[in-house]
């Protein structure tokens, strides 16, 4: 190749790039550590053990330097293929046994596999072109419009973007709130997602934790008392459209009423709705307090990998154009269009969402919500029927119940636990058949855990209320 030869003879110094020695390579032994081993490692860990500050290195799949003759022998390719095949098997098994997290694992994006070869990046603002041409803004804005209709705000009045996850939505919503009210106090119920309190700390905001009812909803009496004590400062409120643990939906209308009755006019508060899971379900539930920009709210976020389902975490964030303009004016010393939290953004996620929204439509989601609520009732009823403490909030598909004694069982079904309670989130991929397998296994195993001198089931009246508790004292 003559062009290359020409370069080689130029001023470029080959020696400049030969930095030796290269980092030490990993020993051959590491090649044998595989997925199976990792599973064993997981199982041996026991109940909720936190190993913060200790690296879990025994279970990892080391990256190894290719051997000089790898291309000839094919050993490396074979090794990698075997790791991936075993990993895939693990994923299938783990996906099948999953009840604890609100992820819809039922999706088929085969039609989109053709796009995996592209490095799709929606740098910066969805509504402003960048020079990087390999983007998916046309899909992203289509998805945003769909959510804007759902939450009742006009195209010309909203701004939003597809985020990396629910946390990014909360970080963005609360940042917008802080920029609108730099001296504002952040109010959030103590059952809010941890990212809300993380935001307060990151942003150096004063934060008030508000108490909750047994259901997990924000306690508006306590909220009112806190507002009274801080009347001089604007309020930024995180409203949970579905709490993480109990799936409780804060009463948005009552929150607004409490603010108004406490003397907070609309120009002195900002409401961010954290709709991680239920932000997409509530619009289809008749009795739910409607999430709508016709009400005095500032932003709504929802996760895309939860009710919609997506191979990787993502989310949707919608706010009012007026707020984002204020934010952007403030950052004029930056690249003027920097209104997102992240700079580079996954361009595949909007296409996954676009694909599913198009296929299902509002009607399809309505049907799925109906199915999930029905199946959640089934699960709760059967638990109570078997004498197991359980609670299901009216507007929720999250069934909270007595924590299973056996940690192995908890891990197998990937239940999220907190203290004496566990929960299962009934998503579109959770069928009656799957629930029956789970229930039968639970009932059978549980009969061996308690009674005949082996102790009693835990009392969960403090978590779920005595009416939902089936312990010796309350049943």
* Paired sense of beta strands 390-392 and 398-402, if any: antiparallel
| Cβ at position 351, least distance to its own copies in Å | 8
Please say if 396 is a catalytic residue: yes
Q: Is 342 in the site for its own copies (CB under 8 A)?
A: yes
Q: How many helices (H) and strands (E) does the chain have?
A: 14, 11
Sequence-ordered strand ranges (E) for 59-109: none
- Degrees to nearest 5, angle at CA 451 with 450 and 454: 65
> Segment contacting its own copies (CB under 8 A): 55-63, 221-229, 440-448, 456-464?
55-63
Q: Is 6 in the site for its own copies (CB under 8 A)?
A: yes
> Contact letters (x/-) for its own copies, 285-304, by CB under 8 A?
xxxx--------------x-
Q: Which of 346, 389, 398, 468 forms a contact with its own copies (CB under 8 A)?
A: 346
Q: Which of 219, 378, 406, 443 forms a contact with its own copies (CB under 8 A)?
A: 378
Q: Is 191 in the site for its own copies (CB under 8 A)?
A: no
Which distant-in-sequence residues (6+ apart) come within 8 Å of 443 by Cβ? 386, 388
Q: What is the H or E stretch that residue 349 is in?
A: helix 348-385
Task: Answer yes or no: are the C-beta atoms of 227 and 258 closer than 8 Å.
Answer: yes
Task: Answer yes or no: are the C-beta atoms of 230 and 185 closer than 8 Å.
Answer: yes
CB atoms near residue 102 (< 10 Å): 25
**Nearer Cβ to its own copies, position 1 or 265?**
1
Compute how many residues bind its own copies; rule: CB under 8 A: 175
Q: Is 338 in the site for its own copies (CB under 8 A)?
A: yes
Query: Of 396, 397, 447, 466, which residue is the catalytic one?
Result: 396
Distance (Å, whole) CA 163 – CA 148: 15
Q: Is 38 in the site for its own copies (CB under 8 A)?
A: yes
Q: Is 89 in the site for its own copies (CB under 8 A)?
A: no
Helix (H, G, I), strand (E, B) or coil at 395: coil
Q: Is 326 in the site for its own copies (CB under 8 A)?
A: no
Write out the binding residues for its own copies, residues 98-137 only, by CB under 8 A. 98, 100-101, 103-105, 107-109, 111-121, 125, 127-129, 131-134, 136-137
Distance (Å, whole) CA 218 – CA 2: 73
> Segment contacting its own copies (CB under 8 A): 218-226, 247-255, 363-371, 450-458?
363-371
User: What amino acid positions are annotated as catalytic residues?
Assistant: 396
């Amino acid at each position: 190749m003559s062009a290359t030869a020409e370069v080689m003879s130029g001023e470029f110094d080959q020696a400049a790039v030969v930095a030796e020695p290269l980092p030490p390579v990993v020993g051959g032994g590491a090649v044998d550590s595989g997925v199976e081993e990792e599973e064993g490692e997981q199982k041996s860990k026991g109940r909720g053990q936190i190993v913060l500050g200790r690296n879990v290195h025994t279970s990892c799949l080391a990256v190894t330097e290719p051997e000089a003759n790898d291309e000839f022998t094919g050993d490396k390719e074979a090794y990698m293929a075997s790791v991936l095949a075993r990993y895939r098997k693990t994923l299938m098994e783990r996906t099948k046994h999953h009840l604890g997290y609100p992820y819809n694992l039922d999706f088929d994006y085969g039609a989109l596999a053709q796009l995996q070869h592209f490095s799709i990046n929606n740098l910066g603002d969805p509504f402003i072109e960048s020079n990087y041409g390999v983007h998916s803004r046309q899909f992203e804005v289509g998805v945003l419009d769909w959510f804007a209709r759902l939450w009742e705000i006009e195209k010309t009045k909203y701004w939003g973007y597809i985020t990396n996850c629910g946390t990014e939505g909360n970080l963005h919503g609360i940042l917008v709130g802080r920029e609108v009210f730099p001296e504002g106090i952040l109010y959030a119920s103590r059952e809010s997602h941890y990212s809300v309190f993380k935001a307060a700390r990151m942003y150096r905001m004063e934060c008030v934790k508000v108490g909750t009812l047994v259901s997990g909803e924000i306690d508006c009496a306590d909220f009112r008392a806190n507002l009274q004590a801080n009347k001089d400062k604007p309020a930024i409120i995180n409203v949970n459209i579905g709490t993480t643990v109990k799936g409780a939906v804060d009463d948005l209308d009552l929150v607004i009423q409490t603010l108004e009755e406490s003397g907070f006019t609309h120009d002195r508060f900002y409401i961010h709705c954290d709709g991680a899971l239920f932000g997409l379900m509530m619009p289809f539930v008749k009795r739910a307090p409607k999430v709508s920009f016709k009400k005095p709210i500032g932003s709504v976020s929802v996760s895309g990998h939860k009710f919609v389902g997506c191979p990787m975490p993502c989310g949707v964030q919608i706010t009012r154009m007026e707020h984002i303009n204020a934010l952007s004016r403030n950052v004029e010393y930056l690249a003027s269009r920097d209104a997102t939290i992240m700079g580079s953004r996954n361009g595949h996620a909007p296409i996954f969402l676009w694909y599913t929204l198009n296929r299902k439509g509002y009607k399809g989601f309505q049907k799925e919500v109906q199915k999930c609520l029905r199946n959640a009732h089934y699960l709760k009823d059967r638990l109570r029927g078997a004498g197991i403490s359980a609670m299901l909030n009216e507007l929720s598909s999250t069934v909270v119940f007595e924590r299973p004694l056996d940690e192995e069982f908890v891990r197998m079904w990937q239940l999220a636990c907190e203290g004496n309670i566990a929960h299962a989130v009934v998503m579109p991929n959770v069928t009656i058949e799957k629930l029956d397998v789970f229930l039968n296994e639970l009932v059978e195993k549980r009969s061996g855990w308690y009674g005949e001198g082996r102790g009693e089931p835990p009392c969960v009246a403090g978590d779920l209320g005595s009416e939902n508790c089936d312990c010796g004292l309350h049943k």
